[in-house]
Amino acid sequence: MLTTQTNTESLKTVMKNRDSHSHVSGKSIYVDDIPVRIGTLYAAVFSSPHAHGKLQELNLSEAKQMPGVVRIFTHHDILGENQIGGIIPDEPLFAEHEVHYQGQPIALVIADTEANAREALHKIKVDIAPLPIIVDPREAQAKGELIIPPRSFRLGDTAAAFEQCTYIFEGTAETAGQEHLYIEGQGAYAYPMENGSIRIASSTQGPTALQRTAAQVLGIPMHQIEVDVTRLGGGFGGKEDQATTWGVMAALAVQHLQRPVKLILHRMDDMKMTGKRNPYTSDYKIGLDENHRILAYEATYYQNAGAAADLSPAIMERTLFHANNSYFIPNVTATAYSCRTNIPPNTAFRGFGGPQAMFVIEAAIDHAAKALQIDTNIIQRKNLLTENSEFPYGQHAKDCEAKACWDTATEQYDLKKLQQEVADFNAQNELLKKGLALMPICFGISFTKTSMNQARALVHVYHDGSVGVSTGAVEMGQGVNTKMAQVAAHAFGISIERIKIETTNTTRVANTSPSAASATADLNGKALLNACQQIKDRFLELAARRLKVAVDDVLLKNECVYIKEEKTDFTWKKLVMDAFLERLNLSAKGHYATPVIHFDKAKEKGHPFAYHVYGTAIITATLDCVRGTYTFDSVKVVHDFGASMNRMIDLGQTEGGIVQGIGWMTMEELLYNKDGRLLSNALSTYKIPDIYSVPDEVSVQFLRTDNRHDLAIFHSKAVGEPPLMYGIGAYFAVRNAILAFNPQANVPFSAPITPEKVLMGLYGSK
Ligand code: MTE
Ligand code: HPA
Ligand code: MOS
């Protein structure tokens, strides 16, 4: 059973995600639910059966004769550039001379039905001369196959500091990839508008990325492409960049055929063709003084980028930003390589490279603790960040809640008692063992690329008093539409029922950053507040004039104009109508750019984050030492939400993130063989957490804090990604349970810790 507990303070805003009713009643409209227009054609993608090779010949003649086939597109049909790379132009839409991964698109079949389009795929013949395949990032690095030059973040002098250390430990830590498994798969529906314009309905986190790339590939200006997003059935980073491909393909077909074209990937194709969380393999070296203070830390990360850059350079950067997780370490050298391999280009996934780095430092600390025969949490606690601690990238921790979260968690959940229970259980049971681990987190909020931290909003107050809001925020289940409605309702002092959140559309709000980096509510919420404020200022001026009082004395709340604390009979509806009749502007465009932040890549120093989010989780696992299976008894969290503007949604994000993190660390095993073939390409071979694998208890306490985080919307901190990293504690809880059974067990720092790996640990020896 999932129990959720909040601290005694009542839920400030008990407000459900406003979409939940239409979701559960099946009324929400996803891309594949959009009623099709007459004349719609269907697309299916032909992709490379080989991971690396030269494209010798592509024979489409038989496929073209198949029933219902209208046309087959290849790179020859591209009027603009055959290029979809976002950060680096290294990725063609359709392969030209070479293929670089299994599942790389080569051609697009268009037919009258989806079945006919898919049937024709089997008749396409391709001749590929094999080239050597690399799937291991270390091998890629050794061969010089790098996406970008390596980067290093440095603080202090690690070489000198290691000289001072009493204890030094070195090792390797690995984390595997993760399939996003959004419930709604990738897809787009494009149709021709007037005069060569094209409208694309897409399941994308990045409408502008799709608009820009479609324009580039089709060779037309961006204003000819309109992207519209109603909502996503999940993205988790998998649609930040990789939704673009399918939208561009549909648009290309529309450009040539002037008919509506729909492209929806089947689940197995989606799993085969799209990138996932980047697997990492890393080396660490950690040095401590005799009091267990960490003096020096070196880490070298080998990121498996896959066959093209996609977002991997930015992900690699965030890995470096989170090298030290929630710890202050005075001497750090962190180096990262983005390695090109022959698997699909990997991409954003909740945490964006941060979790991969955090696993490595946790492994290093656990290694040290086990060797020193002390509890890991002694080293963890001793080295937590404190106020003003310097991060290796130059920013200093402000309003640092690392210790507050840790201490509140260990006190409120009574760590000593939990530890005693585990010890007692383990003394009494031979074949069942429990393990406990603590996981502190610290996550930086802002796109690491400063220029992306901007947003806009468009607000219309209609003359009946209802309000239409457009922003760049994409709703993907994280509840941002509910938060945006709260912002507008609060700004105008009116009921939330009056607010409609419109689709995310590039003609209404242009040049958007993707909805990502957990920053969507902050950026778009602040832009929205700015727009509402402009309208509100006009209204207040009018109200003051009519009521013959000073403008500073009037305010809007409870759907009325107030003079100081006194209610008037000047209602919102009357105010709006009067403003309209006076010919005031009832619309506004708001803009926001995060102040303060900056980063100098030449020095690898700056102040990249608006603020940090902190928290601590205590995770307990029970292991069946005969079967190698485990369950999680509890995840007990104290999390720093700032002043949460919507506790229900924030709780949902926390619980969802925890479960997704546990999945990554324990059961989700993404496997490619030496030929670069994805072995776990369906839900029969790829296991994600289900309701039975959810921890028996998930408790989340909202840290009490007086800090006012001005850069967070309504002081309510970003919540989308950080809780995923509590899941890292699950790995260590299981590891500790194995060691309770067999203290000699050899358990490599290699996630996921699947039951197979557990069994090898239980019955192996060093
Ligand atoms: N929650 C749901 N239900 N569905 C999602 O796709 N994506 C996560 C997180 N929570 C996601 C989610 C990721 S990767 C990010 S970056 C944030 O939500 C994006 O939304 P936010 O910026 O509004 O937090
Ligand atoms: N986080 C998430 N997505 C991103 C980022 C980031 O820091 N930078 C570019 N895309
Ligand atoms: Mo989230 S990985 O920033 O889409």
In the chain, where are the structural domains located? 8-28+454-593, 34-132+180-273, 280-448+601-762
Query: Which ligand is in closest contact with the Cα of 447?
Result: 2
Find out whether 203 and 229 touch, Cβ atoms under 8 Å: yes
What local confidence, expressed as pLDDT, does residue 648 receive? 96
699 versus 19: the higher-pLDDT residue is: 699
Class of domain 8-28+454-593: alpha beta
d(CA 359, CA 277): 14
Q: Ligand 3: does its nearest atom lie under 6 Å from the Cβ of 349?
A: yes
* Helix, strand, coil percentages for the chain (3-state, nearest 5): 35, 25, 40
Mean pLDDT of the chain: 96
Report whether CATH 3.30.365.10 matches the domain 280-448+601-762: yes
Return the SS3 of 729.
helix
CA distances from 222 to 212, 249, 259, 355, 522 (A): 6, 16, 20, 35, 27
State which ligand 3 atom lies nearest to the alpha carbon of 235. 4
| Same CATH fold assignment for domains 8-28+454-593 and 34-132+180-273 | no
% of the chain exceeding 70 in pLDDT: 98
Query: Which mutation among 277, 316, 318, 721 tests ligand 3's pocket best, with the greatest number of atoms within 8 A of CB?
Result: 721
pLDDT at residue 11 greater than cutoff 50: no
Please name the residues in contact with 468: beta carbons below 8 A apart, sequence gap of 6 or more. Answer: 459, 460, 462, 500, 502
In the prediction, which pLDDT does 765 show?
64
d(CA 353, CA 444): 12
pLDDT at 16: 81
**Which string of b and e fits 712-728 if b means at least 16 CB within 10 Å?**
bbbbbbbbbbbbbbbbb
Ligand 2 within 6 A of CB of 101: no
Ligand number, closest to the Cα atom of 452: 2
- Does the pLDDT at position 426 exceed 90? yes
The answer to whether the CB of 699 falls within 8 A of the CB of 617 is no
Least confident of 12-21, 163-172, 421-430, 431-440: 12-21
Does domain 34-132+180-273 match CATH 3.30.1490.100?
no
Q: Find the ligand nearest to 348 CA.
A: 3
> Residue 61 corresponds to which tokens in the numbers above?
């003649």
Q: Given a cut of 80, is residue 15 above it in pLDDT?
A: no
3-state secondary structure (DSSP) of residue 515: coil
Is residue 53 packed enough to be buried (19+ CB in 10 Å), middle (13-18) or exposed (0-12)?
Answer: buried
pLDDT tens digits for range 620-679: 999 999 999 999 999 999 999 999 999 999 999 999 999 999 999 999 999 999 999 999
CB atoms within 10 A of CB 596: 11
User: What are the tens digits of pLDDT across the range 210-241?
Assistant: 999 999 999 999 999 999 999 999 999 999 99
User: Quick one: pLDDT at residue 709?
Assistant: 86
613 forms beta bridges with: 443
Query: Quick one: CA dihedral 527, 528, 529, 535, positive or negative?
Result: positive
Q: Is 24 exposed, middle or buried (0-12, 13-18, 19+ CB in 10 A)?
A: exposed
Whole-number Å distance between alpha carbons of 757 and 761: 6
Q: Tell me the pLDDT tens digit for each residue of 151-208.
A: 999 999 999 999 999 999 999 999 999 999 999 999 999 999 999 999 999 999 999 9
Q: What pLDDT sits at residue 707? A: 76
Mind listing the pLDDT tens digit for each residue in 525-569?
A: 999 999 999 999 999 999 999 999 999 999 999 999 999 999 999
Residues carrying an active site annotation: 721
- What's the 379 CA to ligand 3 centre distance in angstroms? 31
Rg (CA), the chain: 27
Question: Whose CA is closest to atom 8 on ligand 2?
Answer: 447
590 burial class (0-12, 13-18, 19+ CB within 10 angstroms)? buried
Neighbours of 11 (CB within 10 A): 13
3-state secondary structure string across 276-296: CCCCEEEEEEEEECCCCCEEE
Per residue in 311-331, pLDDT (tens digit) is 999 999 999 999 999 999 999
Atom of ligand 1 nearest to the CA of 520: 22
Per-residue pLDDT at 127: 98
- 4: confidence class by pLDDT, cuts 50, 70, 90: very low
What's the burial of 138, exposed, middle or buried (CB within 10 Å: 0-12/13-18/19+)? Answer: middle
Q: Which helix (H) or strand (E) holds 187?
A: strand 187-192
pTM attached to this predicted model: 0.97
The residues facing 298 across adjacent strands are 285, 333
pLDDT band at residue 28 under the 50/70/90 scheme = very high
Q: Is the CB of 517 under 6 A from ligand 3?
A: yes
Q: Which of 471, 645, 470, 491 is nearest to 572 (CA)?
A: 491
Query: Looking at residue 3, what is its pLDDT?
Result: 37
Q: Which two tokens stand for residue 18?
A: 């406003």
Average pLDDT in the 429-443 region? 98
Tokens coding 473: 């925020």
Please state the rounded mean pLDDT for residues 737-742: 97
For 367-399, give one letter per residue: b (16+ CB within 10 A) or e: bbbbebeebbbebbbebbbeeebbbbbbbebeb
Mean pLDDT, rounded, for 730-742? 98
Stronger pLDDT, 705 or 640, i.e. the higher one? 640
Sheet with 69-73: strands ordered across: 69-73, 105-111, 41-47, 261-264, 187-192, 198-202, 225-229, 504-505
95 Cα: distance to centroid of ligand 2 (angstroms): 27
For the segment 577-588, the average pLDDT, to the nearest whole number, is: 98
Tell me what the mean pLDDT of segment 412-432 comes to: 98
E runs forming strands in 112-186 = 125-130, 151-155, 167-175
CA distances from 426 to 28, 375, 697 (A): 49, 16, 20
pLDDT at 8 (0 to 100): 31
What is the predicted pLDDT for the residue at 6? 36
Mean pLDDT of 456-471: 98
Whose Cα sits closest to atom 9 in ligand 1? Answer: 720
State in Å: Cα 267 to ligand 3 middle. Answer: 21
Q: Is the CB of 240 under 6 A from ligand 3?
A: yes
Has residue 132 got a pLDDT over 90? yes
Secondary structure (3-state) at 532: helix
DSSP E strand stretches across 331-389: 331-340
Closest Cα to atom 7 of ligand 2:
447
Q: Whose CA is nearest to atom 4 of ligand 3?
A: 237
Q: What one-letter code names the amino acid at 12? A: K
Tell me, what's the pLDDT at 340?
A: 98
The reply to whether omega before 92 is within 30° of 0 (cis) is no
pLDDT in tens, 82-106: 999 999 999 999 999 999 999 999 9
pLDDT at 255: 98
Task: Tell which wins on pLDDT, 317 or 693.
Answer: 317
pLDDT of residue 738: 98
